[in-house]
Amino acid sequence: MADQKNIAVIGAGPGGYAAAFLAADLGMQVTLIDRDPNPGGVCLYVGCIPSKALLHVAALINESAHAKNWGVSFAAPKIELDKLRGFKNNVVAKLTGGLGQLSKQRKVKYLRGTASFVDSHTLNVKKQEGGGEERLRFDNIIIATGSRPVRIPGISIESPRVMDSTGALELPDIPKSLLVIGGGYIGLELGTVYAALGTKVSVVEMTGGLLPGADRDLVRPLAQRIQKSFAAVMLNTKVASVKEEKNGVRVRFEGAEVKEAEQVFDRVLVSVGRRPNTEIEGLERTKVTKTQRGFIEVDLQRRTKDPAIYAIGDVAGEPMLAHKAAHEGKVAVEAIAGHRGASFEPRAIPAVVFTDPEIAWCGLTETQAEAEKRQIKVARFPWAASGRAVTLDRTEGLTKLIIDPETERVLGAGIVGPGAGELIAECVLAVEMSAVASDIKLSIHAHPTLSETTMNAAEVYFGTATDIYRPLSARGAESRG
């Protein structure tokens, strides 16, 4: 029975606290272990939440500048860094403090400290408060230790001028110039913040495009906007060396497209990915196994090769996303509780890049379909034909559906434009519920809204879109595969 279970969760991020709270709700005795004063993990303390608070400020600054096109002018923004930093910190404190209260309400035992394995059922916790150690035994243990930024060999992020994402979110100052190493979503989001605050931001990416792996038609509007708001975008370029000097950081670049082999920046942000925190002391005393990339191997219930131990979130494999971790945490707890059907088998996990414009996608992408040589049809609706997008003066957006040509099932979707992260939820539901294109077409959407572009894309598939002309032949969609 669930109420007889005594479990531990190592790591109090979105996956960890979601697992701990559900376990407590099911009547289990729960111990949640983490080094921070309250649950929240990287996401709430130094990741998703503080970055989105700053991106909200950046969006406001950019919107005020854009308003000149509408005949409304504002004075140049005055940045009070202490207040801005305080706003961000208050957001973090409010949310993490709330989670601390929820832990107490659920009678979850919260231990501040670092856990190590004695065996498959026993943990040793080095306490941060009061010192000392505590040895505890459990029926089951869930590993939810998250991930950390990848370091580039030869580039020391211990230098105060060279930051990782955590350091950048501290807003130590507003540098005159900033180099972002890595054109992924974390680097571009933080680059967007600093550019809005007045920094001349340059980004260097070793591949031929920003956001490698994402569909190019979704990335294109963002890339065009970044070309205008950033000082430089250097593609197919590698960082050969970084040297700190009196007046900045000298960076040497390599690549066929390099125009300036060496440049000096006030600060450098290293953002080239994350790696799982699976170097847990004593883990070798269990039957837990890892992949070559360091992820813990798990089954559909998130159970490791050790039947008493489960793993969720970033340590259990990609995608490294908070909402994926939370869902995995619930599945693991349900499996421990003996619930039939507990299994992590999502058809669509949404991914969102909170830049300006936002990019979001779910399910099968065009890039994946091409790699798998899979037959698909793609129905695109450009936001230039959206009345709501025109009223917002943001017509660069796009909504597209990836459709199975035989069954007309919606296999995936992609959106680029303001609010894409909110709009993608309908598409996730469509994929999960095995909706067909006509289901979306026949669902009446409010007008004028950006959400109706999903309906419009479905209409494009059938060649019946009111606001854009696409011939009925081939249902107005492009074949791929």
Point out the residues that are catalytic.
447
Peptide bond into 77 cis (omega under 30): no
State the angle between helix axes of 185-196 and 48-66 in degrees (0 to 180), rounded to the nearest 10. Answer: 50
Rounded Cα distance, 248 and 263, in Å: 10
Rounded Cα distance, 39 and 32, in Å: 9
Other beta carbons within 10 Å of 388: 17
Q: Where are the beta strands (DSSP E) in 282-340?
A: 309-311
Question: 254, 238 in Cβ contact below 8 A?
Answer: yes
Rounded Cα distance, 457 and 417, in Å: 15
Dig out the tokens for 271 from the structure.
């953002």
Peptide bond into 382 cis (omega under 30): no
Rounded Cα distance, 12 and 36, in Å: 8
Residue 376 phi, psi (nearest 5): -145, 165
Rounded Cα distance, 230 and 194, in Å: 10
Residue among 4, 9, 1, 5 nearest 326 (CA): 9
